[in-house]
Amino acid sequence: MFRFFLILLTIFSHTVLAAQTTIRLSGLSGELEDNVQLYLNRYGANDISTSLRFQSRLEQDISTALQALGYYDSEITIQLQQRTNGSRLNITVDAGEPIRINTVDLQVLGDAATDPEFINLLKQAPQPGQIVHHGRYDNFKNSLNSLALRRGYFDATFTLARLEVSPRAKQAFVKLHFDSGTRYRFGEVRFSGEHIQSARLQSLVPFKAGDPYLATQLGELNQALANTNWFSSILVTGNTEQLSETILPVDVELAPRKRNSIETGIGFSDDVGARFKLNWLKPWLNDRGHSLDSKLALSSAEQSVEAAYKMPLETVATDFWQLQYGLRNRDYQDTRSKESNLALERHWLLESDWYRTASIRWLYEDYTQADQEDISSLIMPGLSFSRARQTGSGMPIRADRLLLGIEVSDRSWGSDESFIRLRGRAGYINTFSDNHRLVSRIDAGAVLMAEIDNLPPSIRFFAGGDNNLRGYAYESVSPLNSEDELIGGRYMATASLEYQYRVKGNWWLATFADYGSAWSNTPDWKRGVGVGVRWGSPIGAVRIDFAWGLDAEGSPFQLHFSLGPEL
């Protein structure tokens, strides 16, 4: 008996599903069809019926959708068609002639009447002869209100806002009178919860008391405070409760960041094995905003430790001194080296968003390179320009990074050798259509004037590894001596092009080609190709690469794993 009822229930449910009514729309195209379809999509399969009442609702909805785009004289025909698998409502629409704007009465009163931003916005206002479009009319009104809020016209209001439509005359009349009132100005900026000297915080404020209000400048202040790394939370608000006529005070609530911050990173490649990095940051040491950044890097090929003491100047966002000291030990391939670096740097942020860095560095290096043993002491003043921009974090949507630098050494000021060392890097990331991503990098350097044999390994150039020439062992590409030992080159140039495709969520597949060499006389260009997997983790891009060196003997396979910025 139970099976009998189950069969009846199944037959009944199939009959009900088969008997459902559908809708078919014809006679429209483009924006008209899209807008009508939006109204029709509100009805689910169970909402549609063949009743005259429902057909009347359909006709009203379609008329409303067409009127919103300026078509008030439409003809709508609905026919019921019986089919073997149910019924269908065939809707045929003739939109008719549209209503056009006859006159536009647009007035902007108050301080906004001479504001260049409002003058530019008025170019987007409805114009005589245009088809009436209720959405664009509403959007223009909203744009006026939005612009007023962003530029400090807090008392702005429409004294007249009317869109009159005469379907019989096929004409429309736009009447908009917008009174902006007086533009507000910034008042005093008051900080609370701060642990850094007020003068240094005030140097971050991108406006002065009395300047016209601009919402984006509050955003700039928030970003400038965040860039210092001094605070765990930042809240920038206009204090509307203490308005004095048209002066708006600005309150900034701050909470100090923890005194210690630790970050770790890991990596792996076939040639040097595992790599481990540890960064220990003390973002503020005193009320002047001084900070200490310590870094430890360990691998079987190289171990290093360095510390940087940063001293912001009065203009915190743009100027600071930095004192750095580091030790590095290398024991890999044909290089044995122990080096000590001491550097004093002066940093400026230019109006063009480039960082200019002037430095003086003392390098002491005790090394063995192939069959050469020596000790080198070099004093090198330098100058560099760098810029880094990105949209999005982890795996940014767009990013670019540029670095141009020069260091000079001369015997006249106590160096063991005279030379000029040039270095340049460039990287670019762009995302196309959400699922396609392009990453490109160029890295180049040159040493001028000196004989390469007279310079320590850290001044010479080597290529190879996951940072510039995948498919080749770390720093395994360079000129060789008579016994086929690596000696390092005077020049280096590498380029990389990588395409990534989003598989799902934050997971990407990649394919890439690298090209480059390190040389002293004639370059021996090397090619590397491969495929990889990318994961946009919360702490940065995780990258696994399977690479082949096409110009190495036997085209050896290299596995590279790394975590961190792609540029």
Confidence of residue 172 (pLDDT cuts 50, 70, 90): very high
**Alpha carbon distance 454, 418 (integer Å):** 10
Instruction: Please write the tens of the pLDDT for every residue from 391-428.
Output: 887 788 999 999 999 999 999 999 999 999 999 999 99
Whether 17 shows a pLDDT value over 70: the answer reads: no
Q: What is the pLDDT of residue 325?
A: 97
How many other CB atoms are there within 10 angstroms of residue 21's CB atom?
A: 19
Segment 24-49 mean pLDDT: 89
**Alpha carbon distance 67, 96 (integer Å):** 11
Checking DSSP bridges between strand 491-504 and strand 507-519, what pairing results, if any?
A: antiparallel
Sheet strands (E) in 319-371: 319-332, 335-349, 355-369
Cα 106–109–110 angle (5° rounding)?
160
Segment 159-171 mean pLDDT: 92
Q: What is the pLDDT of residue 5?
A: 44
Whether 48 shows a pLDDT value over 90: the answer reads: no
**Alpha carbon distance 367, 522 (integer Å):** 26
Are the C-beta atoms of 141 and 156 separated by less than 8 Å?
Answer: no
What is the chain's mean pLDDT, rounded?
A: 90
Q: Which two tokens stand for residue 171?
A: 């004409």
Of 87-101, 230-244, 444-458, least confident by mean pLDDT is 230-244
Instruction: Please write the tens of the pLDDT for every residue from 305-325.
Output: 999 999 998 888 789 999 999
Closest CA to 322 of 289, 291, 282: 291
- Give the end-to-end CA distance of the chain in Å, rounded to a whole number: 72
Whether 13 shows a pLDDT value over 50: the answer reads: no
Are the C-beta atoms of 290 and 195 separated by less than 8 Å?
Answer: no
Q: What is the pLDDT of residue 12?
A: 40
Are the C-beta atoms of 344 and 320 separated by less than 8 Å?
Answer: no
Half-sphere exposure of 308 (CA within 13 A, CB side): 16
Q: What is the pTM of this model?
A: 0.73
Q: What is the pLDDT of residue 270?
A: 66
Whether 204 shows a pLDDT value over 50: the answer reads: yes
**Angle in degrees, 0-180, between the axes of helices 134-150 and 215-227, rounded to the nearest 10:** 60
Whether 112 shows a pLDDT value over 80: the answer reads: yes
Sheet holding 185-192, edge to edge: 185-192, 247-256, 231-238
Q: Which two tokens stand for residue 271?
A: 């040639």
Are the C-beta atoms of 385 and 404 separated by less than 8 Å?
Answer: yes
Q: What is the pLDDT of residue 271?
A: 67
Segment 12-28 mean pLDDT: 67
Instruction: Please write the tens of the pLDDT for every residue from 462-520.
Output: 999 888 899 998 889 999 998 989 999 999 999 999 999 999 989 999 999 999 999 99
User: Could you tell me what percentage of the chain is helix, strand and coil, using 3-state DSSP and rounding each to the nearest 5?
Assistant: 20, 50, 30
**Alpha carbon distance 165, 183 (integer Å):** 34
